[in-house]
Structure 1
Amino acid sequence: MADSFNKLWLKGQAEEDIYFARRDRELIEALRKKKLRKKLEDTDKKTRNRARKYEDRFVKISDKHGKKPKKMRKELSKLLAKIRKRFTAK
């Protein structure tokens, strides 16, 4: 009886962890978008268009590799390197 109770308790804990992890990911993404929007307001039109293009790439990478954090981190690192190279070249 105690064993079945422990299994139910562990299941509840796992569901709770999954819920909060999903919520945290959504909040982090919302903060990133908010920060990006604020930076875009302070830039010229050409830079804004370029930044939107990179934002679209970010969303595609997040959607494609959302369940594979290592792969997503690797792809985002590549994208960040491209962005740095592009924006610091001038």
Structure 2
Amino acid sequence: VGLAIALLLAVGTAGAMLTQRVFRAIDNVVKQARRIGDNNLDERLPHPGTSDDIGKLVDTLNDMLDRLEHGFDMQRRFTADASHEL
């Protein structure tokens, strides 16, 4: 019985540590993503170097930032061209 309790405590502790690590990684991505705005769309989130869910999330967000940056660049060029023609 004592061994089973010790094993359950060890598994619980390991699970809590893993969960804390994952949430810390997500919180880090959120903080970095909030820094990026229309004035610095050329910045990207640093990749954690893993292919887990956090790595996939960072890849997806960076792809989205690529598309947003491209759209903003097109809008700026159009506005500059239109104002020049006027």
TM-score (norm 2): 0.51
Pick one of 19, 22, 31 that aligns with 1:35.
Answer: 31
Is 2:3 aligned against 1:7?
yes
Identity across the alignment (%): 8
1:12-36: per-residue Cα shift (whole Å, max 9, x none)?
0000001111100011001000000
Deviation at 1:6, TM superposition (A): 0.9
Q: Which has the larger radius of gyration?
A: 2
Mark the runs of 5 or more structure 2 residues left unpaired by the alignment: 51-86
User: 1:41 aligns to what SS in structure 2?
Assistant: coil
For 1:18, the aligned partner's letter is A
Deviation at 1:43, TM superposition (A): 4.3
Structure with more relative contact order (C-alpha pairs < 8 Å, separation 6 or more): 2
Partner residue, 2:63? none
How far apart are the structure 2 equivalents of 1:24 and 1:34? 15
Partner residue, 1:45? 41
Mark the runs of 5 or more structure 1 residues left unpaired by the alignment: 64-90
Deviation at 1:41, TM superposition (A): 2.3
Runs of 4+ aligned structure 1 residues displaced above 3 Å come to none
Aligned length: 51
Distance verdict in 2 for CA 1:21–1:42, change over 3 Å: farther
TM-score (norm 1): 0.49
**More helix per residue:** 1
